[in-house]
Amino acid sequence: MEKHMVIAGVIVTSTGLNNLEVAPGYVMVVDGKITRKGNIKEFERLEGQGALRGYNVIKMHEEQFLMPGLIDCHTHAPQFPNLGLGMNLIALYWLQEYIYPLESEFYKTDYAKDVYSQAVRRLLKNGTTTACYTGTLHLDGTMELVKSVIDQKQRALIGKVSGNIENKFGYYNNIDTELAETKTFIKKVLALGNDLVLPVVAPRCPLSCDNDMMNKLAKLAVKYDCRMQSHISESKDDITQVLQLNPGCMNYAEVFDKCDVLTKKCILAHGVHLTGHEIDLLKMRDVGLVHCPASNTRLRSGICPVRKLLNHGLKIALGTDVAGGDSTSMLDAIRRTIDVSTHLELLDGQYSAINWKEAFYLSTLGGAKVLNLDDKIGSLEVGKEFDALLIDVYAPGSPIDECNKHFVGYVKDHERLVQLFLSSGDYRNISKVFVKGRLIKDEGALVL
C-alpha cells in the first residue's frame, strides 16, 4: 500500500443521483484514506512550497481522469464457467439445465479455487473494486472464494448460498446442516480479520429455502450483524411459483417480510415486477435493490422500471448477475441500464430514461449505499477509503480512437471525456486500479 500519495488532474465523483462533479483538482491519500482534497491551484501551491515531499505524486495528463471504483452489487462467482451459455432459455429453466448442475461441482475445492481466482481477477481487470458475490451451497468451496478475494486484495461481500428445498440434482441441504454451515462460514470469515471482506447470509430465494429456514437465517444475520442477499420478483413465472408455495401472502415481498428478511441490511436482486404495495414495503424497510439489466433481458425476465423505483425513493444499485448476465463488466451494466430504460420510455413514455450521469451514480455511490458501505466507499471524498480508477481515455489499443479528440474539443470539456469512457471504453482504458490505497492494476496489468 502506498502510505502517502497525491493524484492530480481531473477528478470525477457523484455526490447524489443528479450531481456529478467533474473538475481539475487533487486528492491526498494517507494509509488508504483520502485525507485532503482541493482544486488544481491549491495542488500547484502545495507542490511549489515543497509540502508534497515524501508523497508519491501522480500527475494525470489531459486525457485522463480519476473516478471511484466500480461496485458490482450482484454476481454469482461459481457461474463464470457458464458465461454466454443457455441464453435461449427463461430463468427458471436455465437454472435447472445449466446452473444447478454446474454449482453442484463446487464441492471440489481445487475446481472452486481455479474458477474463483479467475473470476476475481477478471472483475479487478474490469475496474470492479467491490463485488457482492454469491457462492454455492458448499462451505469449503465458498471459502475458496474468500481466499481468492483476499489474495487479490479486492473488497467483497460474500455469501454461501442456502437452500433446503429438494430438487432433482440433490443440490440442497437439510435445515440443520445448512444453518450450522452458514454459522461456521460467518465465523470463519470474521475470524480472518480482513476489513475488506464481509460475510453475507444468502438464502437463494423462496423456491430454494422454506420459510422456517429463511426465518432462522434472518436471526443468524441479526446475531452476527451481517447483510442478507437474495432475489425478488425476477420473472412472472418465479412470482407465480413463490405465491403457490405461500398462499397466505399477497406478494413476493411479503414472503420475505414474514420471515424478517427485509431490513436496511437486505440486498435484493432484480425487482422487475414489483407491485405498488411491494415498493412501499421495501421503501419502509429501507431495503437495497440491485438492477441487473443484462440477465433480465437475456433470460427474458422483463424490463425493470428503474426510474419508477427511484422516484419512489428506493435505494438502487447495478449488478452484472453473471452468468444470467453475459458480461463481467460494470461498464456493460451501465450501458444496458441506459438502453433498457430508454426502451421502456419509448414503449410507454411514462418514465424518462436513465442518463449516463445517473448510471455513473448507480454503479458507484448508489452501489455503496445499497451495500451499506457509503461511509467508506463510492465517492472520492475526504474521510473515505481510496477505491479508485485512473482512466486513460485514449489508451493505446482501446476502443476509443484518436479521431474523437477533435470532436470532443480535446481538454476543453472534461465531461465529454467521461461520457466517452462510459459509452465506448473497456478494461484497456482502466490504467490503474486502487483498493484502499493499494495499487492493484498498473498500466493495464494486474500487479498482484
Identify the pLDDT of residue 404.
65
Identify the pLDDT of residue 427.
98
Q: What is the mean pLDDT of residues 285-300?
A: 97
- Report yes or no: 317 and 370 within 8 Å, Cβ to Cβ: yes
pLDDT at 381 over 80: yes
* pLDDT, tens only, 382-413: 999 999 999 999 999 999 987 766 654 444 58
Structural domain of residue 177, as residue ranges?
70-370
Identify the pLDDT of residue 410.
45
Which residue among 305, 340, 370 closes a domain? 370
Strand 430-435 to 438-442 pairing: antiparallel
Share of the chain above pLDDT 90, in %: 93
Cβ contacts of 282 within 8 Å, gap of 6 or more? 253, 262, 268, 271, 274, 289, 314
- Report yes or no: 202 and 168 within 8 Å, Cβ to Cβ: no
Identify the pLDDT of residue 411.
42
Query: Do 285 and 398 sit in the same domain of this protein?
Result: no
Query: Do 33 and 88 sit in the same domain of this protein?
Result: no
More confident residue, 402 or 44: 44
Query: Do 257 and 114 sit in the same domain of this protein?
Result: yes
Query: Do 164 and 246 sit in the same domain of this protein?
Result: yes
* pLDDT, tens only, 175-221: 999 999 999 999 999 999 999 999 999 999 999 999 999 999 999 99
Alpha-carbon distance 323 to 310, whole Å?
26
φ/ψ (deg, to 5) at 336 = -70, -30
Which residue among 351, 370, 389 closes a domain? 370
pTM beyond 0.95: the answer is yes
DSSP code, position 136: -
Alpha-carbon distance 252 to 231, whole Å?
10
Share of the chain above pLDDT 70, in %: 97
User: For residue 57, what are the β-bridge partners?
Assistant: 6
Reported as a pLDDT band with limits 50, 70 and 90, residue 445 is confident
Identify the pLDDT of residue 413.
83
Which residue among 347, 370, 393 closes a domain? 370
Question: Of 439, 317, 331, 448, which Cα lies nearest the Cα of 386?
Answer: 439
Identify the pLDDT of residue 409.
47
Alpha-carbon distance 407 to 215, whole Å?
57
Return the half-sphere exposure (C-beta side, CA atoms, 13 A cut-off) of residue 186: 21
Instruction: Give the count of domains, the chain.
Output: 2
Query: Do 219 and 262 sit in the same domain of this protein?
Result: yes
Alpha-carbon distance 256 to 262, whole Å?
6
Distances (CA, A) of 218 to 139, 225, 299, 339: 18, 10, 29, 36
Instruction: Specify burial of residue 193 (Cβ count, 10 A radius: 0-12, 13-18, 19+).
Output: exposed
Q: How far apart are the first and last CA of the chain?
A: 12
Query: Do 168 and 146 sit in the same domain of this protein?
Result: yes
Instruction: Specify burial of residue 341 (Cβ count, 10 A radius: 0-12, 13-18, 19+).
Output: buried
More confident residue, 16 or 403: 16
User: For residue 11, what are the β-bridge partners?
Assistant: 23, 66
Grid cell listed for 149? 478475494
Reported as a pLDDT band with limits 50, 70 and 90, residue 444 is confident
Query: Do 259 and 165 sit in the same domain of this protein?
Result: yes
CATH of the domain at 356: 3.20.20.140
Query: Do 324 and 184 sit in the same domain of this protein?
Result: yes
Reported as a pLDDT band with limits 50, 70 and 90, residue 2 is low
* pLDDT, tens only, 50-65: 999 999 999 999 999 9
pLDDT at 1 over 70: no
* pLDDT, tens only, 59-97: 999 999 999 999 999 999 999 999 999 998 999 899 999
Grid cell listed for 160? 454461501
Alpha-carbon distance 296 to 304, whole Å?
8
Name the helix (H) or strand (E) containing 58. Answer: strand 56-59
- Report yes or no: 214 and 182 within 8 Å, Cβ to Cβ: no
CATH of the domain at 38: 2.30.40.10
Alpha-carbon distance 302 to 320, whole Å?
16
* pLDDT, tens only, 234-289: 999 999 999 999 999 999 999 999 999 999 999 999 999 999 999 999 999 999 99
Query: Do 51 and 102 sit in the same domain of this protein?
Result: no
Query: Do 239 and 309 sit in the same domain of this protein?
Result: yes
Query: Do 252 and 387 sit in the same domain of this protein?
Result: no
Query: Do 247 and 328 sit in the same domain of this protein?
Result: yes
Identify the pLDDT of residue 144.
98
Identify the pLDDT of residue 443.
85
Identify the pLDDT of residue 17.
97
Identify the pLDDT of residue 389.
98
